Amino acid sequence: MATNSFSQLVGQQQAIELLTEAVRQNRVAPAYLFVGPDGVGRSLAARCFAQLLFSSFVETRLVASVQNRLRQGNHPDLLWVQPTYQYQGQRYTAAEASEKKLKRKAPPLIRLEQIREITEFLSRPPLEAPRNLVVLEEAQTMAEPAANALLKTLEEPGQATLILIAPSPESVLPTLVSRCQRIPFYRLDTAALTQVLMQTGNPEVLQHQTILSIAAGSPGSAIACYEQLQVIPPELLQDLSTAPKSYRHALELGKKIDKELDTEAQLWLVDYLQHSYWQQWHQAGIINQLEQARKALLVYAQPRLVWECTFISLYQQFSGLTQLN
């Protein structure tokens, strides 16, 4: 059962062993903290763990039914919580916001109302499984009021287990970390990364060295970056593949990025340009200038102005390099 449950999870043997042993010995913790980089299997591990936990307490003939309901996301004893955007009084996950083409100016958050929904969900006993299971993706996005509300639940979870998924223990309030058993996840080596990309039907990603460099051993990030790359207009990418040619060109690039990309896409573009420009020129000053642009975008500075100033500065740096050469 354990092998089948975690068969899709590649390169995370320590996590698999810790979780399967917890179920086998009937010593499942009230709360876990899955820590590690994005896209290395933390969410998949949570789904595999739910499958193993819920299936281990039912008759063999019912296991397939339990697994199918978990895949469809309609098991009554599982609550999956993702960061959301607030738009016209409604909450939307990142996927829902993208599907509805909502303009997003700030990153999604796990909100106080969502923590209250968790509390309500846990106020009743499990209907079918041995315990309720709650998964919070990107737990680091909780503001302090939401984190404090969750703390009360972690202190008395009742007949339940909560899984918090975050990039590192430091990204979550220490009071939450202290109440969770830590399960570490790691970046994949080249062989494991290739295996995952092939298994998931994404071999084309392996042809893009800049994307693999950005992903740094994270197949999920590699796939997400490749998908984001397809959204960027090809002519814009072509314009950005070389240094700004003049002050006017720098201003035109800033205007075009502001017009055609939302804030999340612009933040991704900073990463892409940092890696692409580093591969071409190996100049730390260029990378630092783009990092300043990222910081400005994160504090909601006017995007067009941020990009215009960035490309003007890059033009000046590139001009200086040309003169030196």
Q: Which domain holds residue 143?
A: 2-186
**Rounded to two decimals, what is the model's pTM?**
0.85
Q: Are strands 160-166 and 132-136 parallel, antiparallel or unpaired?
A: parallel
Q: 243 and 296 share a domain?
A: yes
The one-letter amino acid code at 33 reads L
Which of 135, 154, 186 lies at the terminal end of a domain, its last residue? 186
Q: 156 and 208 share a domain?
A: no
Q: 164 and 197 share a domain?
A: no
pLDDT in tens, 4-24: 689 899 999 999 999 999 999
* Three-state secondary-structure class, residue 247: helix
Q: 116 and 209 share a domain?
A: no
Q: 14 and 134 share a domain?
A: yes
Note the pLDDT of residue 61: 45
Q: CA 325, CA 319: separation in Å to the nearest integer?
A: 10
Note the pLDDT of residue 1: 44
Q: 108 and 178 share a domain?
A: yes
Q: CA 311, CA 214: separation in Å to the nearest integer?
A: 21
Q: 26 and 9 share a domain?
A: yes
Note the pLDDT of residue 62: 55
Q: 171 and 270 share a domain?
A: no
Return the number of other C-beta atoms located less than 10 Å from residue 179's C-beta.
Answer: 19
Quick check: 221 and 167 in contact, CB under 8 A? no
Which of 157, 186, 215 lies at the terminal end of a domain, its last residue? 186
- The total number of structural domains in the chain stands at 2
Of 126, 133, 190, 119, nearest to 165 by C-alpha is 133
Q: CA 17, CA 44: separation in Å to the nearest integer?
A: 15
The segments of the chain whose pLDDT lies below 50 read 1-3, 59, 61, 323-325
Note the pLDDT of residue 89: 87
Q: 136 and 210 share a domain?
A: no
Note the pLDDT of residue 235: 95
Note the pLDDT of residue 102: 82
Domain of residue 38, CATH code: 3.40.50.300
Q: CA 86, CA 89: separation in Å to the nearest integer?
A: 6
Q: 21 and 160 share a domain?
A: yes
Note the pLDDT of residue 317: 87
Q: 139 and 44 share a domain?
A: yes
Quick check: 75 and 129 in contact, CB under 8 A? yes
Note the pLDDT of residue 73: 73
Note the pLDDT of residue 64: 67
Q: 201 and 134 share a domain?
A: no
pLDDT in tens, 23-57: 999 999 999 999 999 999 999 999 999 999 988 76
| Alpha-carbon torsion, ordered 315, 299, 102, 306, to 10 deg | -20
Which of 186, 220, 249 lies at the terminal end of a domain, its last residue? 186
